[in-house]
Amino acid sequence: MDGPALAMLDLATAEPGTYVLPPLPGEPFFGADTVPQDVLVAEVGRRIVGYLKIRPPTSLESNAHVQQVQGLAVYPALRRSGVARALLAEGLAEAARRGARKLSLRVLSSNPGAIALYRAAGFRVEGVLREEFATDDGGYADDVLMAQRVS
């Protein structure tokens, strides 16, 4: 899988207020917490235009029935054409193949577009951590916990 292309996609799509940790130029995409088996890509021709990463939220046996979306991005030029919706559908199928009961995610309240996407894809809010993260503009955003049943 093309790590440099995915790192470029992360850099190009990191909009202020949408992330907790900004991607840095030159930072490798793959590492201890991001392995190729957990990354699904959307391609147009042979160019990667979007990706979704899912993995277990913890390494605990008691939490092994949950998979979590931990990364999702689509190039601006391709947005609102269903790429993320398709990636999430495939992520749900992958979570089912892994035997998960639940697919969860965390999203900042300062990212209403992503929240609308997740709602449209069947996720519901399970909890909100108020003002959990400081944002680039000097304010604070809620950590919104969303999930849906896999099976």
Ligand X SMILES: CC(C)(COP(=O)(O)OP(=O)(O)OC[C@H]1O[C@@H](n2cnc3c(N)ncnc32)[C@H](O)[C@@H]1OP(=O)(O)O)[C@@H](O)C(=O)NCCC(=O)NCCS
Nearest to 104 by CA among 76, 144, 138, 44: 144
- Residue 27's Cα: distance from chain center in Å? 18
List interacting residues with ligand X (CB under 6 A): 13, 15, 18, 72-74, 79-85, 107, 111, 113-114, 116-117, 120
Q: If DSSP codes are grouped into helix, strand and coil, which group holds residue 5?
A: helix
CB of 28 vs ligand X, minimal distance in Å: 19
CB of 34 vs ligand X, minimal distance in Å: 15
CB of 36 vs ligand X, minimal distance in Å: 20
Comparison of 99 and 124: residue with beta carbon closer to ligand X: 124
- Cα–Cα distance, 52 to 69 (Å, whole number): 7
CB of 41 vs ligand X, minimal distance in Å: 13
Two structure tokens written together for 99: 């035997």
- Answer yes or no: are the C-beta atoms of 32 and 11 closer than 8 Å: no
Comparison of 22 and 28: residue with beta carbon closer to ligand X: 22
Comparison of 114 and 147: residue with beta carbon closer to ligand X: 114
- Cα–Cα distance, 149 to 151 (Å, whole number): 6
Q: What are phi and psi of 142, to 5 degrees?
A: -75, 150
Structural element, H or E, at residue 91:
helix 83-97
CB of 76 vs ligand X, minimal distance in Å: 8
Residue in the shown chain whose Cβ atom is closest to ligand X: 113
